[in-house]
Amino acid sequence: MVTTLVLAPLLLVALAGVLQLGALRAAAARVRAAADLATLVAVNDQDDAELARSGSLRLSADAVDVAREYFARELELSSSLLDSSAAEIAAAADLAAYPTAPAYDTRTGARYDRPTVRISASVPVRTPIFGALVLRPVTTIEVLSVSSPR
């Protein structure tokens, strides 16, 4: 009985921590999927005139705007998990389009052999149970997503 009473708070804290970690993992997966879909949508939008003229794949001129718009749209679907608005997070994200290849990413140093769209963003996610356990009430997820057409 005494052991149970002593261990109960500890086990409750362990349960709360496990649940919060699980929710954080789900939030991270959603954020990654949001960035992946946004870059995919932007890359799918090829420059039709260039494709017809030379047969080569080249990104549309508004690829960065499209990627940012869809990143915001995807994040908006998980707005209850976020600590800032989806529009603010998308606006602050570092997006880059490399319409011709080969190109070098100025942020990561990666070489791209095809036209590429890249998103790098910091997404603040609410972690209220961590906050209650005297840890950080907001956890920032760093996401990097890169897409190229085949």
Interacting residues toward another protein by CB under 8 A: 8, 11-12, 14-15, 18-19, 22-23, 25-26, 29-30, 33, 36-37, 40-41, 44-45, 66, 70, 73-74, 77
What would you report as the CA-atom Rg of the chain, rounded to the nearest whole angstrom? Answer: 20
Q: Could you tell me the smallest distance in angstroms from the CB atom of residue 109 to another protein? A: 29
Give 75 or 96: the residue with its C-beta nearer to another protein.
Answer: 75
Q: 108 by DSSP, 3-state: which?
A: coil
Q: Could you tell me the smallest distance in angstroms from the CB atom of residue 30 to another protein? A: 6
Q: Could you tell me the smallest distance in angstroms from the CB atom of residue 123 to another protein? A: 15
Angle between helices 63-76 and 2-44 (to 10 degrees): 150
> Could you give the CA distance from residue 124 to residue 117 in angstroms, rounded to a whole number?
22
Give 9 or 55: the residue with its C-beta nearer to another protein.
Answer: 9
Give 2 or 109: the residue with its C-beta nearer to another protein.
Answer: 2
Q: Could you tell me the smallest distance in angstroms from the CB atom of residue 111 to another protein? A: 26
Q: Structure tokens of 5?
A: 């009473």
How many residues in the chain? 150
Give 32 or 110: the residue with its C-beta nearer to another protein.
Answer: 32
